[in-house]
Structure formats: structure tokens, C-alpha cells
Amino acid sequence: MAQYALEVQSLTKRIGKKTIVDDVSFSIEKGEIFGLLGPNGAGKTTIIRMIVSLINRTGGHVIVNGHNLDEAFKETMSEIGAIVENPEFYKYMSGYKNLIHYARMADKEIPESRIEEVIELVGLKNAIHNKVKTYSLGMRQRLGVAQALLHNPSLLVLDEPTNGLDPQGIREFRDYLHSLASQGISVLVSSHLLSEMQLMCNRFAIIDKGKLTHISNMNDSVEGSDQELRDVIFEVENVENAVELLKTNGLIKEVKASKGQEFTIAIKRDTIARANQILVQNNIDVYGISSVKATLEDRFLELTNKDQKEQSL
């Protein structure tokens, strides 16, 4: 049984003398939502188009569920469902008739029970017999996912799937993807909406100028390691005495912010308990301790700025 839903090995795309995608490699586990992040023009869409065979690769390999795209094209593509651009449907037909139409074009027979199953899965049961022209953008996106899932793929590939959706539509779409992942379907998604990707993905990779510059688990990357400084808010009885105690014991050098009974300091995660212990032992009541979590946007800017500085040296 294949270990990964998708393996991308040394993917490269050159047009003339210009390298658009440069030796990109990553893998996606089964049931994982994996995000491709990067500025416009970084190469994200080119990578996705090569994975789903919309454009040729200059080099590298694409392996889906153990099937190499070069050696078993039909078997590999049957494992992939994709929405690379806004899904297009016959607007004068109902959602159901559109799905019937796509099912008839599939390489293998798709029973009516499967069509009903994907309709239920994407939450369109109450609107599936309405004409597509009456659908909201979010409903059309969900119908697109239903169409991509008809042939029961193991990997769903989505390029900017939440473009144009309102906040409610984005949240619903995210929930559908989590539901799919819980059933073992893997998802590769690209987007420039970093706050949304933070809520959606298990892991992410940053693509910049065609190169893969960073890849990590979402929670680990945002929260940082135990040895990294993080902003922590302490709510205490006496801020002035608390700060002096922490400075005297060498736990902090300065306070980043202070308001009322709260003060914010930069401290390592494994030092927070020690700071609390010192305060309590010195009869300073501690009412609350909370971390100021960095956002994916903070981490993204930190990583991309770091890469730019390194390249300029």
C-alpha cells in the first residue's frame, strides 16, 4: 500500500531560459490537507497544473498513491480530482443534471448511488435540482467539488478555491474539506489567504520565485518550539513588583507592553511555569497567563523576509 497520497519529486518547469519552477519536492500523507503558499507569480499554479497534467513538466516525477504519472497515466489520473480554475457548468441545467453529464464522460461507470453520495457530502441536497444559474458562488464551488469527487479520487487538488467567496462561504467550504480529510481523502490547496490557510491546513509549503523555501507542520510553525521566544501576557495583582521579580531572577530583560493588571513579555515556553512559580512564591497573585499566538501571516513574512535577506548576502 502506498505510503503517501502524493509525492512530488524534483518538479521543474522551464520556458526558454527562464525557470518557473525549480526542483520542488514534497509529499502529502493520506487524509492530510496540505497548503501551497506564496506571493503571486511564485509558481504555485504552475506546480498544480503540472501535477494534474494540464501542462508538461520539464523534469521531475508525480506519484499518486504509488502510481507514477509517467508510467501509468490513466491509473494515476483516476486518483486525482481537481478544480484548477472556477468550475464551469451548464447554467440552464440543474446541479443534478450537470453531475449526470460529467458522470457519463468518466472513464469508468459511476452509479447513481455515487452521485447521491457526493451530493450529500458537499451539502447540496436541498438545492441540487435547482438550475445552476440560481446558485451562489459558494454553491457552485461545492458543486465543483462534487464533480471532482464523482470518480472517488484519493487526492483532491484545488487552486485558489475560496476566491470570491464571502466569509460564510469560506467557512462552509473549509468545513467540507475537513470532512473529506476525515474520510481519508487528501487535499492539496493553494491560496494567498493566509488566515484561511492557517485554519484549513495540517501542513504547508512556501513557494517563492519557483523554489520551495520552507515546509512544516502548521501548529509547530505558528506556535514555535519550546526554545523560541514568544509573547506571553501575565495578569497579576501587582505588575511593578512582578516585573521586578522576573528581572531579578534573570527570566526577562524588558516588558513589551503593560496595561492595568496585565503585562506582556517575550519568554521561552519552557520558562513560563518557572516565572509563574516565582511570582506565587513571592505572594503575588497570578490571575491569568495567556500566549499571544503568532499568525501564519506573521510566520510567512518572517520566513520570506529571512530568505530575501539571506539571498542578498
Q: Is the pLDDT of residue 168 over 90?
A: no
Q: What is the pLDDT of residues 235-274, one digit of tens each?
A: 998 999 999 999 999 888 888 888 888 988 888 888 888 8
Sign of the Cα pseudo-torsion (70, 147, 137, 298, in order): negative
Q: How many residues are present in the chain? A: 313
Identify the DSSP state of 38. -
Q: What does the alpha-carbon distance between residue 171 and residue 199 come to, in Å, rounded to a whole number?
A: 9
| Better-scored residue on pLDDT, 38 or 302 | 38
pLDDT value at residue 312: 46
Share of the chain above pLDDT 90, in %: 34
| Residue 26 CA: distances (Å) to CA of 5, 11, 205, 216 | 11, 9, 8, 11
Domains annotated on the chain, with CATH: 4-222 (3.40.50.300), 226-291 (3.30.70.100)
DSSP string, 100-161: HHHHHHSSS---HHHHHHHHHHTT-TTTTTSBGGG--HHHHHHHHHHHHHTT--SEEEEEST
Hey, what's the cell of 146?
Answer: 462534487
Query: In the sheet that 18-29 helps form, which strands lie side by side, from edge to edge?
Result: 18-29, 4-15, 59-64, 67-68
Where do the DSSP E strands lie in the chain? 4-15, 18-29, 33-37, 59-64, 67-68, 80-83, 155-159, 186-190, 203-208, 211-217, 229-236, 257-259, 262-268, 286-291
Q: Which three cell numbers stand for residue 201?
A: 491546513
For the record, the C-alpha cell of 265 comes out as 513579555
- 56-65, 117-126, 193-202, 223-232 — which one is most confidently predicted on average? 56-65
pTM of the model: 0.73
Average pLDDT of the residues of the chain: 85
Using the predicted structure, report yes or no on whether residue 80 has a pLDDT greater than 60: yes
pLDDT band at 281 (very low <50, low <70, confident <90, very high): very high
The answer to whether the CB of 50 falls within 8 A of the CB of 62 is yes
**How does pLDDT run across 14-71, given as a tens digit for each residue?**
999 899 999 999 999 999 999 998 888 888 999 999 999 999 999 999 999 989 999 9
- Whole-number pLDDT of residue 313: 43
